[in-house]
Amino acid sequence: MTGTNRRMSCGTVFALTVFALLLISSKGSAAGGACPSGANYLNASTNSLVTLSSLGVTSCYFISAAGADTNDGTRESTPWLHLPGTPECTGTCASTTPVGGTGFILRGGDTWHFGNSSVSPYTGGMWTWKWNGSSGSPIYIGVDQTWYSGSSWARPVMNGDNPLSTSAVASCRHQVGTINSFLNASAVSYVTFDNFEFTGKCEGNSAAKFGYDIYILDQSAQYTNFEHLYFHGWTHIAWRCSRGVG
């Protein structure tokens, strides 16, 4: 009887230990906070404006140029500084795994720097998004037009930090990562990128046949939407185009 009781006690301790570990794990991957409730988001299938919750996005994190990656990110008053998937994302930002049904809301009017490491907030280079949503629970990365810096709402700015020019330049001051692209979203499904401004990029490869701000070349990606994006201020060094014969 004593031996049986001892075995039952050990089993009970083991079960309690597993339960405690599960609680710790669930706290480490806690859900975000309440999402914006306005009907300001595009339902691409009906071409109408709806709420995030009606799209299946029910948990949100917030990011601003005044934030800190050690914040919980679950409210506009406690935002992260960086975007998940950027090299400089640390702390809670880095330990949070994006999942379907989650939104990531950037404060309007703020600027994130992709080329100049001496300016804050600096992303560390190219933003790589590698997480998928699902049909009923997509991932939304965009804005709340009632949350902004300045006197009125404007898109969040992704800046490559090169001077704007209307003609070819002698050289580029900054490149963005190894492939000079703001965003690599090459193999993701059921993700929406909404209402960003991309500017200040410079193409410095004279042998380049094409350039891109967003890298999307993987045919496995499905149902990924890019909405209301504004691209401008893209400069390049001078080069001569030639056509081969053969």
Summarised one tens digit per residue, pLDDT across range 130-175 is: 999 999 999 999 999 999 999 999 999 999 999 998 888 999 999 9
196-212: average pLDDT: 78
Residue 24, pLDDT score: 31
Burial 18-43 (b: 16+ CB within 10 A, else e): eeeeeeeeeeeeeebbebbeeebbbe
pLDDT confidence tier of residue 243, bands split at 50, 70 and 90: low
